[in-house]
A and B are shown apart, each in its own frame.
Chain A
């Protein structure tokens, strides 16, 4: 870190003060850079991909794979916070992040993110397999370059396309075991991919002022409230059958099917409530945002219990 502590000015006015004072960044600030809440969802979905994959993987190798995926996700988060420090400073939700608060300098965040990304990808390649490592590298690249640098500030479809980055972890987990991909991990990818728009647009509906102030062209800012609510319902209607697909294709049992039907019905119901809601009311949007997290967790948790848990126990015992 010594090079960046000397105040290397990588971008923007936020770095201008970097020469002034030695760093006060704590370990906690660096942990915050890795977006631990996002990381926990990434680790969970990767664990499911890893657990449902056919074949065996030594528990320590599985742990190593999850560790590398977690660190890779953290690296992507740090690089996102480095690039987005200017817009983060303008948004209530993100203004207390370490870089806009001045606790971590932009150059330090950049160096931290690049170092973590390098270690995560190389370690995954050396200790697990290079196909999974290549997927992890592509995921970090996609999140940082395609989503953060390119799409986020240029199109209202930013989180639709960029959502792919968050959907890759189960595929990486699967690839860590098998060294390849098949239809099942692609279905898991599609579930998260189509889950992302209603999840983030529900948030954006009641944070539209924040995004507008920061100049981020989120759908409610560009296309308006009504259009966003219609798009939320459309993507929810696409998500629900996709959530059922693992059961329809025979990959899961009745418990998953029942969960996907019940949770999908609630998602659709909340999507309809969001469509009917009128500003300034935001209760339906908040409810959909909160339930969408539970929806994804439920589907993957049941998948883990039905398909993965038994397999994991066998692997641990063997």
Chain B
């Protein structure tokens, strides 16, 4: 997440008091927005794949999937 996208509540005190920074923040370029979007999509897909993997493995192994001998 770029600094421009932080919720207002976690912007530093210095930044809040600086009216110039409040107005503009950091404006992402189109390239930066595209890169951030592609990263966000990749993270979402990876998380979805992880959920599906655990779901399928639960079907394969049964409900005892998390009970493994150490």
Contact = CB atoms under 8 A, between A and B. Distances in A.
Given A61-B57, A64-B53, A26 B35 contact: yes
Interface in B27-70: 28, 31-32, 35-36, 38-39, 41-43, 50, 53-54, 56-57, 60-61, 65-66, 68-70
Nearest to A60: B60
Nearest to A67: B53
Interface in B1-47: 1-4, 26, 28, 31-32, 35-36, 38-39, 41-43
Given A6-B3, A30-B42, A125-B68, A119 B50 contact: yes
Given A5-B1, A119-B50, A130-B68, A24 B31 contact: yes
A127 B42 contact: no
A231 interface: no
Contact of A129 (B2, B36, B68): B68
Given A22-B3, A22-B26, A23-B32, A60 B38 contact: no
B33 to A, nearest CB: 9
A5 B2 contact: yes
5 contacts: A21-B32, A27-B41, A67-B53, A127-B61, A179-B69
Contact of B39 (A26, A127, A129): A26
Given A119-B50, A123-B50, A127-B53, A25 B60 contact: no
B50 A60 contact: no
B50 A22 contact: no
A5 B36 CA distance: 11
A58 interface: yes
Given A61-B60, A127-B53, A24 B32 contact: yes
A26 to B, nearest CB: 5
Contact of A127 (B2, B65, B69, B70): B65
Contacts of B57: 60-61, 64, 127
B36 A22 contact: yes
A139 to B, nearest CB: 19
Interface of B: 1-4, 26, 28, 31-32, 35-36, 38-39, 41-43, 50, 53-54, 56-57, 60-61, 65-66, 68-70
Interface in A239-265: none
A127 B51 CA distance: 12
A23 B60 contact: no
B36 A23 contact: yes
A318 interface: no
A22 B32 contact: yes
A123 B50 CA distance: 9
A136 to B, nearest CB: 15
Given A5-B1, A64-B53, A125-B68, A27 B60 contact: no
Given A60-B60, A126-B65, 4 more contacts: A5-B1, A6-B3, A119-B50, A127-B53
Contacts of A58: 60-61
B23 to A, nearest CB: 18
Interface in A20-72: 21-27, 30, 58, 60-61, 64, 67
Contacts of A281: none
Nearest to B32: A22
A129 B39 CA distance: 31
